[in-house]
Amino acid sequence: MSGRRSERETIEDIIKELSPYSVTTTDANDKTIRTPASGKRFRVGFIYVWNASGGGLTINGFRFGDGTYHFKGKLYDATGFLMNVVGANWRGAVDEAFMVKASGAGLEVTVFGEDI
């Protein structure tokens, strides 16, 4: 698929093209969720986050490469959220990794996205 979506696509069509990529943070450093195939860009569709740390965690955010962190927040233990960014067309540069950073171990993240 090209980098642009057709106006006739339904949400069901878009979801069929997305693949899940999951990580769990192990410390307070960046954790790579997905590096696209060589020569491709990664486009984010949905982000699912769950705090399984046993305590509160700060999400420093999500970013591509060395870019700016987005969606900073705090999560109490055993809480989470699902974020839909399908219409935002949020994507990185060619060969640029998508990452998450949290204040510690135990943040479970699944991103549904596609290489374009």
Answering whether pTM is above 0.95, one says no
Task: Tell me if 60 is assigned to some domain.
Answer: yes
Q: Which two tokens stand for residue 116?
A: 């374009």
Which residues span the domain enclosing 48? Answer: 11-115
Q: What is the distance between the alpha carbons of residues 54 and 52, in angstroms, rounded to a whole number?
A: 6
Three-state DSSP at 19 gives strand
Task: Tell me if 48 is assigned to some domain.
Answer: yes
Of the candidates 52, 113, 116, 109, the one whose C-alpha atom is nearest the C-alpha of residue 86 is 113
Task: Tell me if 6 is assigned to some domain.
Answer: no
Q: What is the distance between the alpha carbons of residues 105 and 93, in angstroms, rounded to a whole number?
A: 28
Q: What is the CATH number of the domain that holds 37?
A: 2.60.120
Task: Tell me if 67 is assigned to some domain.
Answer: yes
Task: Tell me if 3 is assigned to some domain.
Answer: no
Over residues 36-74, the pLDDT tens digits come to 999 999 999 999 999 999 999 999 999 999 999 999 999
Task: Tell me if 40 is assigned to some domain.
Answer: yes
Count how many domains the chain has. Answer: 1
Q: Which two tokens stand for residue 55?
A: 């305590």
Give residue 86's pLDDT: 87
